[in-house]
């Protein structure tokens, strides 16, 4: 046995040595190339332009040779991104990538390949006919990091097969501002949840090694604070105390750096009046100095020039370039012109920016290109194409959609639908594809129905497949905003002959700024349709297809069954139909607090002080967290009982681990999956403690009547918080650990109390 251990240890040392040797070899190659590059070539490497600049003006995918050579030969562009107007076939991608790399590697002095980037954020969403996975907000509801890893790996494989090796994903901002139009791209409101899911995505993208045909460079985004704009509008300012930044926003990025993410994309907005693209503190001191990030930092779309045009911190475009580069930016997503290249070249030649500063960025960019194998073979790889498995993609997408769906309400067990039931399927999302997918789905906005594969089902079609066409009545149209989708008179007429009304409401597709709203309340036309459905006297099942929580408190009380589907994408309609008919037992739980009122946005991890009310003088109650549904809420068609939560010790101290166990029993009549969540509560601390914090979670499956003991291990470091001095500390005192209705208290001692 000892010989086996020595052999394994020896192999481990050998692998580590080989990795260090390989890294050293790459560094030597980078330095050798850097020494030969002109300043023009270096500045070109820092320039990223959109594909429009190399395409024929009258075509969506045909390269204009003159424009291509202007980009690669004259402006020395090092990176290109995006599509023009629609998803491309794999063949089209190959033609585009092949021609770009031919010019870059055969007609330039140093034969430096181009690094192509894309937003493949829930599948290879810019490849025609690809399978798309649920958006992150739904994936977080699954509480299944393995599904995130699997979908990321499949996305990486398909993206790599197209010839693209850089993916602008995952989003690591916390979803704590539900007005924000990119809420659906987040993994929810909790730090631990976002960290776990985001790290799983990075592993899926990169774990096979960047030279592998199943890997792409990941991009943690958007660093930092993008997801909590004060106004709720996209790309607008955030006001973030250092405590909030470090306690809530920084940990997912720290974990991503530790997991080895290759690149970072910068927040388009500003924090406390300073645009992040111009903040040396955030981009250099914190990101590189403190977090230890060594990869490539790229701007978001057009954000360098916006330091001049929008933020007004640079009085000229040239000053905008200087500010961003000196702050620590490596690459500018310009994207529609060569202004960044021209201005940065001027700045270096004038001595306003040193060549050594340029070398820092170019060194990182070139190193990434070496690590991705672009210098070995920059062209689309047959080995990657051979790895694409559409059947596996659909299987994972279906499993993911199933596990995301969250049953919010099931009064009198109205669900599942009774066998042989006749169902009216109504509402704007009933026969619509775009709302199921939303942003980054074949086109940026996801709103072009013509782009979706013909095999993709709507909810109506999904129910027809399960119940039979004769049992489904629907006048719903494909166009979300079609007048027929809001026709209360038609709904009343159709409802006369059915047993149930499945009402599909929520939001149509949107991405970024076009998704800005002023009110979380579901729009009046949809609320009116819900009222009409309730007035028929037939049981109403509400299916919410939305990227953020739209307030439905005015109708919720009279609707017995409510299902939240989020943005389930390609296999979403089938998954919804399976849940409605009882073929699949729902197990998703909320990754955010679902508000009851637009002005009540208190989170589950609110401070004690946020929960104190004084409705009468000198009379205090603790009950201000009163959402429509709480973070972690989600029902099943079976029931689970939690008991016997125990800690292995009554006190623990620095350097020790605390082991907790809880017994979970399926007390219902069918098998089901359930997420076991462990929360902690610090009773007293030098900073006002949170009411509770999620620390661990595990999803298990139990047969009817079966029990399982679930174990969690917690270290003192995992209970730490940022104190008033900005230090991360675990203070002595009593901690409560909570699983559902089970609570156990444990004393933490630092060992210095005596």
Kindly report the CATH number assigned to the domain that includes residue 695: 2.60.40.10
Q: What pLDDT is recorded for position 21?
A: 63
Structure tokens at 123: 């599948």
Last residue of a domain, which of 387, 414, 429?
387
Which residues 6+ apart lie within 8 Å of 667 measured at CB?
638, 639, 640, 641, 705
Q: What pLDDT is recorded for position 16?
A: 52
Domains: count for the chain: 3
665, part of any domain = yes
Nearest to 255, CA basis, from 187, 352, 314, 162? 187
Residue 713 pLDDT > 70, yes or no?
A: yes
Residue 623 pLDDT > 80, yes or no?
A: no
Residues 658 and 526 in one domain: no
Residues 339 and 414 in one domain: no
Residues 646 and 511 in one domain: no
For the segment 111-137, the average pLDDT, to the nearest whole number, is 98
Q: What pLDDT is recorded for position 752?
A: 52
From the CB of residue 406, how many other CB atoms can be counted at a distance below 10 Å? Answer: 26
Residues 543 and 651 in one domain: no
Phi, psi dihedral angles at 423 (to 5 degrees): -130, 135
Q: What pLDDT is recorded for position 751?
A: 65
Instruction: Provide, rounded to the nearest whole percent, the portion of the chain with pLDDT above 90.
Output: 94
Name the average pLDDT for the chain: 95
DSSP label of 88: B
Residues 59 and 187 in one domain: yes
27, part of any domain = no
Q: How sure is the predictor about 8, in pLDDT bands with cuts at 50, 70 and 90? A: very low
283, part of any domain = yes
Q: What pLDDT is recorded for position 3?
A: 42
398-411 pLDDT, tens digit each = 999 999 999 999 99
Least confident of 160-174, 579-593, 607-621: 607-621
Q: How sure is the predictor about 18, in pLDDT bands with cuts at 50, 70 and 90? A: low
Residue 17 pLDDT > 90, yes or no?
A: no
Q: How sure is the predictor about 618, in pLDDT bands with cuts at 50, 70 and 90? A: confident
Phi, psi dihedral angles at 48 (to 5 degrees): -120, 130
171, part of any domain = yes
Residues 567 and 682 in one domain: no
Q: What pLDDT is recorded for position 614?
A: 81
Structure tokens at 331: 């690459």
697, part of any domain = yes
| Positions marked catalytic | 300
Residues 439 and 356 in one domain: no
16 against 533, higher pLDDT: 533
Instruction: Give the residue numbers spanning the domain of 344.
Output: 42-387
Q: What pLDDT is recorded for position 19?
A: 61
206-230 pLDDT, tens digit each = 999 999 999 999 999 999 999 999 9
Pairing of strands 332-333, 47-50: parallel
Q: How sure is the predictor about 4, in pLDDT bands with cuts at 50, 70 and 90? A: very low
Residues 172 and 247 in one domain: yes
Q: What is the CATH number of the domain that holds 482?
A: 3.40.50.1700
Q: What pLDDT is recorded for position 23?
A: 83
Residue 238 pLDDT > 50, yes or no?
A: yes
Residues 383 and 411 in one domain: no
Nearest to 679, CA basis, from 650, 642, 624? 642
Q: What is the CATH number of the domain that holds 157?
A: 3.20.20.300
Report yes or no: 580 and 563 within 8 Å, Cβ to Cβ: yes
Q: In angstroms, rounded to a whole number, what is the distance separating the alpha carbons of residues 430 and 591?
A: 24
Residue 10 pLDDT > 70, yes or no?
A: no
Q: Map residue 735 onto helix, strand or coil.
A: strand
For the segment 585-592, the average pLDDT, to the nearest whole number, is 98
The model's pTM: 0.95
Structure tokens at 357: 């500063």
Residues 656 and 574 in one domain: no
Q: In angstroms, rounded to a whole number, what is the distance separating the alpha carbons of residues 270 and 139?
A: 28
Residue 420 pLDDT > 70, yes or no?
A: yes
């Amino acid at each position: 046995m000892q010989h086996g251990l020595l052999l394994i240890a020896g192999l481990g040392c050998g692998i580590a040595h080989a990795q260090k040797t390989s890294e050293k070899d790459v560094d030597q190659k980078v330095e050798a190339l850097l020494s030969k590059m002109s300043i023009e070539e270096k500045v070109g490497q820092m320039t990223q332009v959109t594909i429009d600049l190399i395409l024929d003006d009258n075509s969506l995918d045909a390269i204009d040779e003159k424009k291509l050579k202007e980009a690669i030969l004259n402006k020395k562009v090092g990176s290109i991104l995006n599509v023009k107007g629609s998803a491309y076939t794999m063949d089209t991608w190959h033609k585009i990538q092949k021609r770009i790399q031919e010019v870059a590697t055969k007609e330039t002095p140093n034969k430096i390949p181009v690094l192509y980037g894309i937003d493949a954020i829930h599948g290879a969403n810019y490849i025609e006919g690809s399978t798309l996975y649920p958006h992150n907000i739904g994936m977080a509801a699954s509480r299944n990091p393995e599904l995130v890893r699997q979908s990321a790996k499949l996305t990486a494989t398909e993206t790599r097969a197209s010839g693209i090796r850089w993916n602008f994903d995952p989003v690591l901002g916390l979803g704590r501002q539900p007005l924000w139009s990119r809420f659906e791209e987040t993994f929810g409101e909790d730090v631990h949840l976002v960290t776990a899911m985001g790290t799983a995505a990075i592993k899926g993208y990169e774990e096979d090694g960047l030279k592998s045909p199943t890997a792409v460079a990941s991009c943690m985004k958007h660093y930092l604070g993008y997801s909590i704009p004060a106004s709720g509008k996209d790309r607008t300012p955030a006001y973030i105390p250092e405590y909030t930044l470090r306690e809530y926003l920084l940990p997912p990025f720290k974990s991503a750096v530790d997991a080895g993410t290759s690149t970072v994309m910068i927040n388009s907005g500003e924090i406390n009046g300073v645009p992040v693209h111009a903040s040396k503190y955030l981009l250099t001191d914190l990101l590189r100095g403190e977090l230890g990030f060594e990869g490539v930092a790229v701007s978001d779309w057009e954000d360098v020039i916006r330091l001049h045009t929008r933020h007004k911190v640079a009085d000229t475009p040239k000053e905008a370039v200087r500010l961003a580069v000196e702050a620590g930016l490596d690459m500018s997503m310009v994207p529609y012109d060569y202004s960044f290249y021209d201005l940065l070249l001027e700045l270096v030649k004038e001595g306003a920016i040193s060549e050594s500063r340029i070398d820092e960025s170019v060194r990182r960019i070139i190193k990434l290109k070496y690590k991705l194998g672009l210098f070995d073979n920059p062209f689309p790889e047959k080995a990657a194409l051979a790895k694409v498995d559409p059947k596996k993609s659909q299987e994972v997408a279906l499993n993911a959609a199933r596990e995301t769906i969250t049953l919010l309400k099931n009064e009198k067990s109205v669900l599942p639908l009774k066998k042989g039931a006749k169902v009216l399927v109504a509402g704007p999302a009933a026969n619509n594809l775009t709302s199921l997918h939303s942003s980054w789905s074949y086109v940026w906005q996801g709103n072009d129905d013509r782009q979706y594969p013909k095999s993709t089902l709507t909810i109506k079609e999904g129910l027809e497949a399960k119940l039979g066409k004769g049992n489904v009545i629907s006048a719903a149209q494909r166009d979300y905003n079609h007048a027929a989708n809001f026709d209360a008179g038609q709904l009343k007429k159709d409802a006369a002959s059915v047993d149930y009304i499945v009402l599909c409401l929520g939001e149509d597709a949107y991405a970024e700024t076009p998704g800005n709203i002023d009110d979380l309340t579901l729009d009046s036309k949809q609320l009116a349709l819900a009222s009409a459905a309730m007035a028929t006297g037939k049981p109403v099942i509400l299916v919410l297809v939305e990227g953020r929580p739209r307030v439905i408190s005015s109708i919720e009380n009279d609707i017995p069954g409510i299902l939240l589907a989020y943005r389930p994408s390609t296999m979403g309609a089938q998954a919804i139909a399976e849940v409605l008919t009882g073929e699949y037992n729902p197990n998703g739980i909320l990754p955010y607090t679902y508000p009851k009122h637009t002005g009540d946005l208190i989170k589950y991890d609110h401070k004690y002080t946020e929960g104190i009310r004084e409705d009468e003088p000198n009379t205090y109650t603790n009950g201000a967290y009163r959402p429509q549904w709480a973070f972690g809420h989600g029902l099943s068609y079976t029931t689970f009982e939690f008991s016997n939560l125990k800690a292995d010790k009554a006190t623990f101290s620095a350097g020790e681990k605390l082991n907790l166990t809880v017994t979970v029993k399926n007390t219902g009549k069918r098998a089901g999956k359930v997420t076991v969540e462990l929360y902690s509560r610090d009773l007293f601390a030098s900073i006002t403690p949170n009411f509770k914090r999620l620390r661990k979670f595990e999803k298990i499956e139990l047969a009817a009547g079966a029990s399982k003991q679930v174990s969690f291990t917690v270290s003192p470091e995992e209970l730490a918080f940022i104190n008033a001095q900005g230090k991360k500390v675990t203070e002595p005192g009593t901690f409560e650990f909570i699983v559902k209705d089970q609570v156990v208290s444990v004393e933490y001692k630092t060992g210095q109390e005596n």
